[in-house]
Amino acid sequence: MVRIFAIAILMSNAIVGSQAFAKTPKALTTVTGRSISFFDNRDRLLHLLDRLGEPAWTKKELNRLAIPVHAYLKAFTGRQYHRTLGALQRGDRYRPMIRAKLRRSNIPLAFEALPMAESAYRFNAHSRAGARGLWQYMPSSARHYGLHVGRKLDERADPVLSTDAAIKYLKFLNRKFGKISVLLSVAAYNAGEGRIAGIVRKSGVRSKSRGYSHVIRYLPKETRGYVPEFLAAALILKDPEHFGFPVSKHHAYSYVQLHTPESVKKIARLAKLPLAKVHQLNPELKKFGRTPTNNFILRLPSNAASRLKSKLAIKTTLWKQVTNPISLASAKRKSQNKKSNPHIIYQVRKGNNLGGIAKMFAVPIQNLRKKNNIKGNRIWVGQSLIIPIKKNLDRKIYRVKAGDNLGLIARRLGISIQHLKFVNGVTNPRRLQLGQKLVYYV
Instruction: Write out pLDDT tens, residues 90-107.
Output: 999 899 999 999 999 999
- Mean pLDDT (whole number) for 56-78: 91
Residue 165 pLDDT exceeds 90? yes
pLDDT tier at 22 (50, 70, 90 boundaries)? low
Cα separation, 437 vs 132, in Å, equals: 27
Residue 341: per-residue pLDDT: 57
- Name the nearest CA neighbour of 83 among 110, 122, 112, 45: 122
Second-level CATH architecture of 6-243: Orthogonal Bundle (1.10)
- CB within 8 Å of 339: residues ≥ 6 apart: none
CATH code for the domain defined by 343-441: 3.10.350.10
Residue 339 pLDDT exceeds 50? no
Cα separation, 414 vs 412, in Å, equals: 6
- Mean pLDDT (whole number) for 166-184: 92
Residue 9: per-residue pLDDT: 45
Assess contact for 65 and 214: CB atoms under 8 A. Answer: no
- CB within 8 Å of 199: residues ≥ 6 apart: 215, 218, 219
Which one is predicted more confidently, 392 or 52? 52
Residue 336: per-residue pLDDT: 42
Q: What residues pair up with 385 in beta bridges, in sequence order?
A: 346
